[in-house]
Structure 1
Amino acid sequence: MNYRLTISYDGSRYKGWQRLGDTDMTIQQKLENALFEMFFEPVEVHASGRTDAGVHAVGQVANFKVDKDVTPKEIKEYLYRYLPDDIVVTSVKKVDDRFHARLNATEKTYVYKIYNDFYHDPFLRKHVLHVQEHLELEAMKKAAAYFVGEYDFSAFTTAKSKKKSHIREIKSIEILKSGHEIDITITANGFLHNMARKIVGTILEVGLGNFKATAVPGIINDRDRAKTGTMAPAKGLYLYNVKY
């Protein structure tokens, strides 16, 4: 049987999604450990994407296959009981055997959260980026608009990226402010390694007055990583939704 999971997690204390050989502090490892205890056999969990250390998720999607036929309710309740409190499987469904969480994904949405005030909020400090300086919202929106479309995003990934093609289509970027909180929501057909954080970092540079919004097309076209803004910290990034 093939099961599809929707997972929410606070990534603050984890080394990212992907299983690592020297620690069990990854989201994948915690899930696989719990499923091993449930099914008494090794279970490999495939995610829609490998979130980095410190990155959170509201709607990560994953799947796994086992020979046993159990109800989605049984799996959901077992995982809720045995996973750490900062990982919650919010949905479990039986799906077609051909479904693969990463290979079948057609669109992903990330949200980056910023707290823009001189004083930080102590309750949000692990889950948002605190920016003391005033951010010019309209300039940020102008910069964001230049990213929308299909481009080669080589400048907005890291050397670790092994993707053969760096061409991705950003379908929308929305920037909304409520009180001191600013959300940058990016939807694309796919993301390169660190792409969302590099884009946010560049938009922040514009908001701080360090770049002009009109510099963005040149940065994209030059494909020069050195010209982008500082990569935004992981703690403000959330994988919000995955579409199939």
Structure 2
Amino acid sequence: MIKKVVLVIEYDGSEYKGWQSQKFGVPSVQENVEKALSKIANHPVKVVCAGRTDSGVHASAQVIHFETDVQRNERSWTVGVNTYLPASISVVAARYVTDDFHARFSALTRRYRYVIYSAPFCPAILSNGVTWTYKALNVERMSQAASFFVGTHDFSSFRAVGCQANTPIRTVLNFQVRQLGQYIVLDVRANAFLHHMIRNFAGVLMTVGANEKPVSWAKEVLDAKDRTKGGITAPPTGLYFVDAQYPEHFNVPTRPLGPHFLPHVNEPAYELSS
């Protein structure tokens, strides 16, 4: 009997060319996960993820699903699979779900965090886990600028030139900018994202935070609907996929918001969209 399993995956994307499997010899997270799962399942396994990540991008709670006709307990799908994974990838939760669950199409929202380390010198520790800037950033200005992005908009100014999405229209449900200890964190939740969308948000907000552009420039960029007006694309090193929300009846495992090195803060109670 075929059953569907959902896993929550954490990974450091520094050494991978993104989530998606590519041509032979190009390292990807998906390829490593499928190989490890296939060993435990004793048959080839293909997985589907909630949101594909680019080269160098990380995840603290990527959600995936796969189908299998073998019966294993949840420990086998976590601890067992982890024995075949590199140290940079870890399964942190597993659960059997109903046949109508789909990691991508059942997701109501997705959430990312972009972590900036603002200090005079580049960090030696976590150098591939944060985006460093020597510039002092004004968090209040960045927060004011980010407020322009909340709502349903044409985000053409924030999509990569090679973005293959059918439409640039997206709905940003929440966008918070806050100081967490030594980090400045951009915390964004939306129904879906365009290619490089958050990294382009980060590029604009860091420019505003450094007082190189006025707060109103963020809205000007949004209204322009033109990528050439949007400034730099920030590096992938600080970007994390941290959450995907699903209807409660699927009972998908949840994790504390990551990445785990950030100080814990009380999170607002976000209601699930219908």
- Name the counterpart of 2:79: 77
2:115 equivalent in structure 1: 113
Q: 1:93, CA displacement in angstroms? A: 0.5
Q: What is residue 156 of structure 1 aligned with on the other side?
A: 158
Matches of 1:236 and 1:146, distance apart in 2: 22
- State whether structure 2 residue 214 is matched by structure 1 residue 208: no
Do the aligned partners of 1:6 and 1:92 also contact (CA within 8 Å) in 2?
yes
- Cα deviations by residue, 1:175-229 (Å, 9 ceiling, x for unpaired): 1113431111111111111111111111111112222111222211221101112
Q: Which runs of 4+ in 1 moved over 6 A?
A: none
Paired-residue identity, %: 34
Following the alignment from structure 1 to structure 2, what is the Cα–Cα distance between the partners of residues 42 and 229? Answer: 44
| Residue of structure 2 aligned with 1:10, choices 9, 12, 16 | 12
- TM-superposed CA distance for 1:42, in Å, is 1.7
What amino acid does structure 1 have at the position aligned with 2:241?
A: L
Corresponding residue SS for 1:16: coil
Q: Which residue of 2 aligns with 1:97?
A: 99
1:24 is displaced (CA, Å) by 5.0
Q: Match for 1:147: what amino acid?
A: F
Q: Which is further off, 80-89 or 173-182? A: 173-182
Local SS of the residue matching 1:82: coil
CA contact (8 A) 2:20 2:30 kept: yes
Question: Residues 27-66 of structure 1: matches in 2 within 5 Å?
Answer: 27-66=29-68
State the distance in 2 between where 1:24 and 1:95 align.
Answer: 32
Residue ranges of structure 1 left out of the alignment (5+ in a row): none
Write out per-residue CA displacement over residues 11-38 of structure 1, whole angstroms, 9 at most, x where no aligned residue.
1111110000132511100011112222
**Contact (CA 8 Å) 1:114, 1:129: kept in 2 or not?**
yes
Contact 2:153 2:170 in 1 (8 A): yes
**1:224 paired residue among 222, 226, 229:** 226
Q: Counterpart of 1:228 in structure 2: which amino acid?
A: G
- Secondary structure of the corresponding residue to residue 216 of structure 2: helix
CA deviation map 1:160-184 (0-9, x unaligned)? 2211121111111111113431111
Q: Does 1:181 align with 2:183?
A: yes
Contact 1:24-1:30 within 8 A present in 2 as well: no
Which residue is 1:127 aligned to?
129
- Partner of residue 140, structure 2: 138
Unaligned runs of at least 5 residues, structure 2: 247-274
**More displaced 10-residue stretch of structure 1: 36-45 or 8-17:** 36-45
TM-score (norm 1): 0.96
How many residues align structurally? Answer: 244
Q: Distance in 2 between matches of 1:178 and 1:70?
A: 40
RMSD: 1.2
How far did 1:121 drift?
2.2
Give yes or no for contact 1:150–1:170 (8 Å, CA) kept in 2.
yes
Q: Give the conservation status (yes or no) of the 8 Å contact 2:19–2:53.
A: yes
